[in-house]
Chains A and B, each alone.
Chain A
Amino acid sequence: MKKLSARRRHPLAALVVLLFALAATGGLYTAFAPAEKAKAEQESSQSLAIQEGKKLYQVGCSSCHGTGGQGTSDGPSLVGVGAAAVDFQVGTGRMPAQQPGAQVPRKKKIYSQDEINQLAAYVASLGSGPSQPTKKQYDPSGSDVARGGELFRTNCAQCHNFTGEGGALTHGKFAPDLGDVDPKHIYEAMQTGPQNMPSFTDGALPEKDKKDIVAYVKQVNSDKSESPGGFKLGGFGPVSEGMFAWIFGLGAMIGVAVWVAARTAKAKKS
């Protein structure tokens, strides 16, 4: 310490102090700056996503939805529909639409999930709306299936049938089969109300309720769901049962009757 204080009046002392000060400031800056820097990076990647999304949008969507998402006579405005709507519509292959009609059907998905996220980022940038749910929100494990069933019958079965087999709406529109739909997409459909479906906001149907409904659908209508009584004949209720009873039930009876009648004791020919 003595040495240090002895040299404190050295002509280069000021320079050394300055160097220390600079190093400390720089060090501190590097220590505290990363958050800011990452944020900036994220921002730039976000704006990159938006840019990429915009490019995808211009190619695949703008002919119907307008160059700025403002909508045209062929497609609705996308301002404020949110990322969840894009993820649902494009993720289930409904968008881009193949042709105009009563309803756009589900088909093969043509964008990768990354591209969908870019599109979603662009559309979300047009106006705020529901964002894509996280896995924690829609993952059905550990939910109350029985409660989900009650909620489903109260809110969904009118159009989608008891177990979500789908049903008819007016003028060729329809409620689709929920059979092998991704839990995320079921959740997003409830959030955003695609096409003819009403939207169930978190105010009307809280997050937990949505999750219970997803769990119920997965319980009764997926490739893993059990049918204790045997083949379920489409699960459409009494119409398919009646048709089966007539064609196969009574058909078999008539077959048996013809068989029995054809095999009779023959009277002896005299």
Chain B
Amino acid sequence: MSTATETPGSAAAAGKKKAPAGERVADWADGRLGIYSLAKANMRKIFPDHWSFMLGEVALYSFIIIILTGVYLTLFFHPSMGEIEYHGAYTPMHGVRMSEAYASTLDISFDVRGGLLVRQIHHWAALIFLAAMFVHMMRVFFTGAFRKPREVNWVFGFLLFVLGMFTGFTGYSLPDDLLSGTGIRFMEGAILSVPIVGTYISMFLFGGEFPGHDFIGRFYSAHILLLPGIMLGLLVAHLILVFYHKHTQFAGPGRTNKNVVGMPLLPVYMAKAGGFFFLVFGVIAAVSAMFTINPIWNIGPYRPDQVSTNAQPDWYMGFSEGLIRVMPGWEINLWGHTLVLGVAIPLIVIFPLVLVSIAMYPFIESWVTGDKREHHIADRPRNAPTRTGVGAAWIAWYFVLLVGGGNDLWATHFHLSINAITWFVRIAFFVVPVIVFIITKRICLGLQRRDRDKVLHGRETGTIKRLPHGEFVEIHEPLSQEQLHTLTAHEQYKPVELGEETDENGVQRKITRSQKMRAKLSKGYFSENGQIPKPTAEEYREIESGHGHH
């Protein structure tokens, strides 16, 4: 209708009746924006249905909510460290000297209409945003959805998470309350521990000695402009790539590596996604209306000479707190210079390592498998036991550090000694990931065995039959063709062979160290200890024909 080739004649043939208003608007816009071809290509875009595919949406919607509420907060917030005496609505603070940033946050909470609710929505949404990104990342990880062609999008997602962490941190720092000041002091400590240049970076960042008069303004620019700007760009790129790659789907009848089975974007997913946005907004608003977060009026204005217990960062920075809390206070003094290993090792070395280790994993796996094909069918976690083990170990590692970061609350609530918890975390940091890796891998192998049994021997029905000679047997029911397909759809790799050590002339072949390493890793992934061979069609037929049904 809008291909611009309509002749006046055909229009006349259609009669004098005017087209409906919607169509006319669409026509008008198409003639100027060319949206028809764009819509035609994407309106029928298919998305598969699974609840875990909606975790990324939770992150997206909470990000939108954060931007909307953040704009409202900027209308009333004064990013200034100028000192004033408070005389606002909150009487228990009357006469206290504080920065304008803190005073304006008090004003937002007590004087601005809806200010406290919006502040709480902004903060709760931030915590949920990061948590949603975290579980979304884990979904992608455990289903192998990071494999070719999606490695770049994995990195984009990872960058969004890290930027989200720092956007959250700068936001946490803005109200200039005692918690945010302590957090910035923590960060300053990390910067100061950088060998040689640390003191210079600190001086540049704070415009002199800590705390100075600059950092709130600087963090404000970063928090509302720089970081969210980059995040928005990355987010758009992330979504474009999701469209371009198409969504992964779980194996099932009719689903191949070359198709996507599901519902079209318009109207089904537009309606669902729109509704889901409001559900997400509703949950966050309900939480914010009922539960207080960061009650700055209780926390007090920041003064460098004050500190409180329970001074911890928001959860996404909690693992850095854990690192610093359990690290022994090592220090080296050399020619009048101090190397604070107790801070530099956890915050400058291990902190990035924890994050980068999970970001790098897809590249390590593709190097081990040597697989250059595209993958659009999501793995079931059990069918990649080593990967699932690595992921679970990483989560355990992260969790151990969170325990370390909240060691005081573990101590008071479980009546434990904080020193014992610290030592537990020090040891668990090295031991727990290994144990979790082994256990998870064994569980995966067990589940693979069960799948194999189900395919070959059918489903246990729970019906017990007594045979004429007295033996009891349980009746197994063969699986349907669909179930058989789903359980056997995954591919299994073969371990990489190094090949002959000598070539055909008897000359020793050069085998690099990385080749050896790769062969070793590949053996760990794909040998008998790394996966249970899935039943072959021959095995299945043999059993079927052999002794019939049980």
Task: Please report the C-alpha to C-alpha distance between residue A162 and residue B124 in the assembled complex, in whole angstroms.
Answer: 21
Interface pair B318/A242, CB less than 8 Å apart: yes
The interface residues of chain A, by DSSP majority, are classed as: helix
Note all chain B residues with C-beta closer than 8 A to A267: 263
Interface pair A229/B120, CB less than 8 Å apart: yes
Binary interface encoding of chain A residues 222-250 relative to chain B, with 1 for a CB under 8 A from any of its CBs, else 0: 00000111111101111111111110111
Interface pair A230/B417, CB less than 8 Å apart: no
Note all chain B residues with C-beta closer than 8 A to A13: none
Which A149-193 residues have C-beta < 8 A from chain B?
149-150, 153-154, 157-163, 165-172, 174-175
- A102 in the interface, Cβ–Cβ < 8 Å? yes
Interface pair B128/A172, CB less than 8 Å apart: no
Which B120-137 residues have C-beta < 8 A from chain A?
120, 124, 127-128, 131-132, 135
Number of interface residues of A (CB under 8 A): 63
Contact partner, A257, options B54, B109, B312, B417, Cβ 8 Å? B54
Binary interface encoding of chain B residues 256-295 relative to chain A, with 1 for a CB under 8 A from any of its CBs, else 0: 0000000100001000100110011001100111111111
Task: Please report the C-alpha to C-alpha distance between residue A228 and residue B290 in the assembled complex, in whole angstroms.
Answer: 10
Interface pair B132/A146, CB less than 8 Å apart: no
Task: Tell me whether A229 and B411 are in contact in the complex, defined as CB-CB below 8 angstroms, given that A171-B419, A265-B268 are known contacts.
Answer: no
Task: Tell me whether A250 and B409 are in contact in the complex, defined as CB-CB below 8 angstroms, given that A230-B289, A260-B275 are known contacts.
Answer: no
Interface pair A162/B314, CB less than 8 Å apart: no
Note all chain A residues with C-beta closer than 8 A to B268: 264-265
Task: Please report the C-alpha to C-alpha distance between residue A157 and residue B299 in the assembled complex, in whole angstroms.
Answer: 10
Most buried by A among B54, B58, B295: B295
Interface pair A264/B263, CB less than 8 Å apart: yes
Binary interface encoding of chain A residues 103-114 relative to chain B, with 1 for a CB under 8 A from any of its CBs, else 0: 000000000000
Which B83-122 residues have C-beta < 8 A from chain A?
91-96, 109-110, 116, 120
Contact partner, A238, options B49, B57, B313, Cβ 8 Å? B313
Interface size bucket, B side?
35 or more
Note all chain A residues with C-beta closer than 8 A to B275: 260
- B210 in the interface, Cβ–Cβ < 8 Å? no
Interface pair B306/A157, CB less than 8 Å apart: yes
- Cross-chain pair count, CB within 8 angstroms: 202
Task: Tell me whether A172 and B110 are in contact in the complex, defined as CB-CB below 8 angstroms, given that A238-B179, A238-B314 are known contacts.
Answer: no
- A261 in the interface, Cβ–Cβ < 8 Å? yes
Note all chain B residues with C-beta closer than 8 A to A238: 179, 294, 312-315, 318
* In the complex, residue of chain A having the shortest beta-carbon distance to the beta carbon of B283: A252
Contact partner, B300, options A162, A170, A265, Cβ 8 Å? A162
Task: Tell me whether A237 and B305 are in contact in the complex, defined as CB-CB below 8 angstroms, given that A230-B289, A262-B51 are known contacts.
Answer: no
Contact partner, B409, options A144, A147, A158, A168, Cβ 8 Å? A168
Interface pair A146/B92, CB less than 8 Å apart: yes
Interface pair A170/B419, CB less than 8 Å apart: yes
* In the complex, residue of chain A having the shortest beta-carbon distance to the beta carbon of B53: A261
Interface pair B298/A245, CB less than 8 Å apart: no
Contact partner, A228, options B94, B292, B307, B418, Cβ 8 Å? B292
Interface pair A228/B116, CB less than 8 Å apart: yes
Contact partner, A253, options B283, B297, B298, B318, Cβ 8 Å? B283
Whole-angstrom distance between the Cβ of B344 and the nearest chain A Cβ: 24
Note all chain B residues with C-beta closer than 8 A to A167: 309-310, 408, 412
Contact partner, B280, options A145, A175, A245, A253, Cβ 8 Å? A253
Contact partner, A250, options B57, B116, B128, B179, Cβ 8 Å? B128
Task: Please report the C-alpha to C-alpha distance between residue A138 and residue B421 in the assembled complex, in whole angstroms.
Answer: 38
Interface pair B49/A233, CB less than 8 Å apart: no
Interface pair B49/A161, CB less than 8 Å apart: no
Whole-angstrom distance between the Cβ of A103 and the nearest chain B Cβ: 10
Interface pair A246/B315, CB less than 8 Å apart: yes
- A64 in the interface, Cβ–Cβ < 8 Å? no
Interface pair B406/A239, CB less than 8 Å apart: yes
* In the complex, residue of chain A having the shortest beta-carbon distance to the beta carbon of B94: A146
Interface pair A162/B178, CB less than 8 Å apart: yes
Interface pair B54/A260, CB less than 8 Å apart: yes
- A6 in the interface, Cβ–Cβ < 8 Å? no
Whole-angstrom distance between the Cβ of B272 and the nearest chain A Cβ: 6
Interface pair A227/B407, CB less than 8 Å apart: no
Interface pair A257/B412, CB less than 8 Å apart: no
Contact partner, A233, options B51, B54, B292, Cβ 8 Å? B292
- A24 in the interface, Cβ–Cβ < 8 Å? no
Binary interface encoding of chain A residues 199-228 relative to chain B, with 1 for a CB under 8 A from any of its CBs, else 0: 000000000000000001001100000011
- A18 in the interface, Cβ–Cβ < 8 Å? no
Task: Tell me whether A174 and B95 are in contact in the complex, defined as CB-CB below 8 angstroms, given that A254-B51, A260-B279 are known contacts.
Answer: no
Task: Please report the C-alpha to C-alpha distance between residue A11 and residue B409 in the assembled complex, in whole angstroms.
Answer: 97
- B541 in the interface, Cβ–Cβ < 8 Å? no
- B55 in the interface, Cβ–Cβ < 8 Å? yes
Task: Please report the C-alpha to C-alpha distance between residue A175 and residue B288 in the assembled complex, in whole angstroms.
Answer: 30
Task: Tell me whether A228 and B109 are in contact in the complex, defined as CB-CB below 8 angstroms, given that A158-B307, A162-B178 are known contacts.
Answer: yes
Whole-angstrom distance between the Cβ of A158 and the nearest chain B Cβ: 6
Interface pair A248/B287, CB less than 8 Å apart: yes
* In the complex, residue of chain B having the shortest beta-carbon distance to the beta carbon of A239: B406
Contact partner, B283, options A144, A241, A249, Cβ 8 Å? A249
Interface pair B417/A264, CB less than 8 Å apart: no
* In the complex, residue of chain A having the shortest beta-carbon distance to the beta carbon of B310: A237
Interface pair A256/B279, CB less than 8 Å apart: yes
Whole-angstrom distance between the Cβ of A114 and the nearest chain B Cβ: 34
- A258 in the interface, Cβ–Cβ < 8 Å? yes
- B50 in the interface, Cβ–Cβ < 8 Å? yes
Contact partner, B311, options A146, A227, A237, Cβ 8 Å? A237
Interface pair B314/A241, CB less than 8 Å apart: yes
- B513 in the interface, Cβ–Cβ < 8 Å? no
Whole-angstrom distance between the Cβ of A215 and the nearest chain B Cβ: 9
Interface pair B300/A153, CB less than 8 Å apart: yes
Q: Which residues of chain A have a CB within 8 Å of any CB of chain B?
A: 102, 144-147, 149-150, 153-154, 157-163, 165-172, 174-175, 216, 219-220, 227-233, 235-246, 248-250, 252-254, 256-258, 260-262, 264-265, 267
5 nearest interchain CB pairs? Answer: A229-B292, A242-B315, A167-B309, A245-B127, A157-B308
Sampled A-B contacts (24; CB under 8 Å): A147-B95, A150-B96, A157-B300, A158-B309, A162-B298, A171-B418, A174-B412, A175-B309, A219-B92, A220-B92, A228-B110, A230-B288, A231-B291, A233-B292, A238-B312, A238-B314, A241-B314, A245-B315, A249-B131, A250-B58, A250-B132, A252-B283, A253-B58, A257-B57
Beyond A150-B96, A242-B316, 17 additional contacts (C-beta under 8 Å) are: A168-B309, A168-B408, A170-B418, A172-B417, A228-B110, A228-B292, A230-B120, A237-B179, A239-B312, A241-B314, A242-B315, A245-B127, A249-B284, A253-B55, A253-B280, A253-B283, A267-B263
